[in-house]
A and B are shown apart, each in its own frame.
Chain A
Amino acid sequence: MRKRTLTTIVMVILALFFIFPFYWLVIGTTKNVSQLFQKSLLPGVPSHFLENIRGVFTYENGVYLKWLANSGLYAVVGAFAAIFFASMAGFAFRRYNFYGKKILFILILGFAMVPIYATTLPLFMLFRDLGLINSRLAVMLPSFVNVFGVYMMVSYWNQVSEEVFNAAQIDGANDLRIFFQIGLPNIIPGFITQFLLSFVSIWNNFFLPLVVLNSRAKMPLILGITTITDPQGFPVYNLTITSSFFAILPLLVLFIAMQKYFKPQIYTIH
């Protein structure tokens, strides 16, 4: 069919556009600065790949590994706490008919879209008063709150049928057991989706660490790689490129391995 061929050709050209920066980044990791300035679209010859890797991991006594560990810590602990608390909150909205339910839900949702550029400055002052500036806690505490996660959790819990809960209750299970043993297994796919989305958004968060951290040893990768310079303070392009590559590699691996859990999240209007 001729028409489908046209669509395919356009889609292939677009695919090249979407892939191009990845390709450029990957070949960039094989070049030193003078090769980068040759502006070629081919890998560097001779390849400086191993040299760049060594450069990244020995930069400032191996601070890159600290950044990597920090990012892992912030993202794993933050995402788990946020989504676990969100699933508890979602369970409360699903299971109980309690005083203040509607108002509380509206209040929570009303604050779902608050921009971090409005809250981070007051948070900075709060953490300063508490002596938490430049501490890992200052990066982690705000990440424990995921309002959108609560909303999604309520929708996951709403899909669990009432009979599941009632049957458990007749069997004499208490509320904690109903939550952990009967409830949670029913929403595991949603839990994983929310965990991954939360993980990625914390891994990618730049603004909060930028504001609350000043010691490089506590920075996450995304912030750390923007501080790479030579001792005179000039940019070192090959190291920034190689470190960028290794900063997104975990995300790409995670995305490819867990593809079925990355579902687009958007409120829809009915």
Chain B
Amino acid sequence: MGYDTMNKKTNVKMDQVMIKKKKRNKKAVATIKAYLFLAPFLLLFATMVIYPIALGVKLSLYGQRGARMWYIGFQNFATILQDPKFWESLRIPLFLLLVQVPLMIFIATLIAFSYERLEKHGGSIFRFIYYLPYTIPGIVTGIIWSYIFSDGMSPFRPVLDLLGYSGTKILTRPHLPAILLVIILWAFTGYTAFVIYSALISIPKEFSEQAQLDGATFWQVAFKIKVPLLKGVFIPLFIFNAIGAIQVFNEPWMLKELVVLPSNYTPAMYIYNAAFAQGRFTYASAMGMILAVLTFLISFGVLRSAAKQMLTE
């Protein structure tokens, strides 16, 4: 090996080292710049999200009497799992999950197809009207509907009297699940239909054209061909509505102005009342953590797929 080639080789090696170093320097500079752009968000994220969760975890491991607190390990969680009031609070979420969510997605699917069917015959007007309730805050929705169902003001009262039900009250505890069902369907069906419709119109025409040529009707094409293609939107809809179901608070909060409700009517109401009516902060924190873990588990699949999608782009 001559001197020249050896020199060349070391030069190449030196170059490679230099390039690596340069690359590393470049990445170091990029890191500084990136974190400067991220700084405001990260600072607020750390103090307003991460820190409260950490504090919530810590509180949930403490016993409490008044201002005095002491470490008790997982005892709060053991107590919660044996607390009948906690299990009772899950009734409404479970009812919503099993009845309201599937029913709403089913109705919303029918509506989405109707939008498509009426595309040039007023579909956009229906879309607009059906979406409107979604822009109304849950508290106002709760006020309006609780008044509409109240025995003092309900326009349904005269109708019921006429039908011979003058003794039956509308707004009672046993009727509440049905009333919540109406309220939540009113508030979210239009939005859900719009989400499904948005996915629907992005399905390429070729998928349905052949079937239509073969003589299939509109609704046959809809259910046999298009519904299976909408899986990517049904799954997140189920997941987000499940999360909404376990966190329901505002609507029952307003209904309790007109009908007596227990402090543990929903998990969120139980957390609020345990903390601020009964002063059991650490116990309420532990319930909050259970709610957070449940939410995380339910949403895990969607979040993972969202992360993958972003990181590969």
CB-based contact A158/B153 at 8 Å: no
CB-based contact B53/A111 at 8 Å: yes
For residue B106, CB closer than 8 A to chain A, the reply is no
Main secondary structure on A side of the interface with B: helix
Q: Inside 8 A of B195's CB, which chain A residues have their CB?
A: 264, 266
Among candidates B136, B158, B191, B310, residue contacting A264 with C-beta atoms closer than 8 Å:
B191
A97-B30 CB under 8 A given contacts A119-B53, A268-B233: yes
Interface residues of A in 228-270 (CB under 8 A from B): 235, 237, 240-241, 244, 247-248, 251-252, 255, 259, 262-264, 266-270
CB-based contact B303/A22 at 8 Å: no
Interface residues of B in 56-92 (CB under 8 A from A): 56, 59
Interface string of B5-39 (1 = CB under 8 A from A): 00000000000000000000001101101110110
Least CB distance, B129 to chain A, in whole angstroms: 5
B residues near A, CB below 8 A? 27-28, 30-31, 33-35, 37-38, 40-42, 44-45, 47-53, 55-56, 59, 111, 114, 117-118, 121-122, 126, 128-130, 132-133, 135-141, 143-145, 147-148, 152-155, 157-158, 186, 190-191, 194-195, 198-199, 218, 231-233, 235-237, 240, 243, 247, 249-250, 253-254, 257, 267-268, 271-272, 275-276, 281, 284-285, 288-289, 291-292, 295-296, 299, 301-303, 305-307, 309-311, 313
A residues near B, CB below 8 A? 3-4, 7-8, 10-11, 14-15, 17-19, 21-22, 24-25, 28, 36-37, 39-41, 85-86, 88-89, 91-93, 95-102, 104-106, 108-115, 117-126, 141-142, 144-145, 147, 150-151, 154-155, 158, 175, 179, 200, 203-204, 206-207, 211, 222-223, 225-226, 235, 237, 240-241, 244, 247-248, 251-252, 255, 259, 262-264, 266-270
Known contacts A24-B148, A99-B28; 5 further A-B pairs (Cβ under 8 A): A18-B129, A96-B31, A251-B136, A267-B303, A267-B306
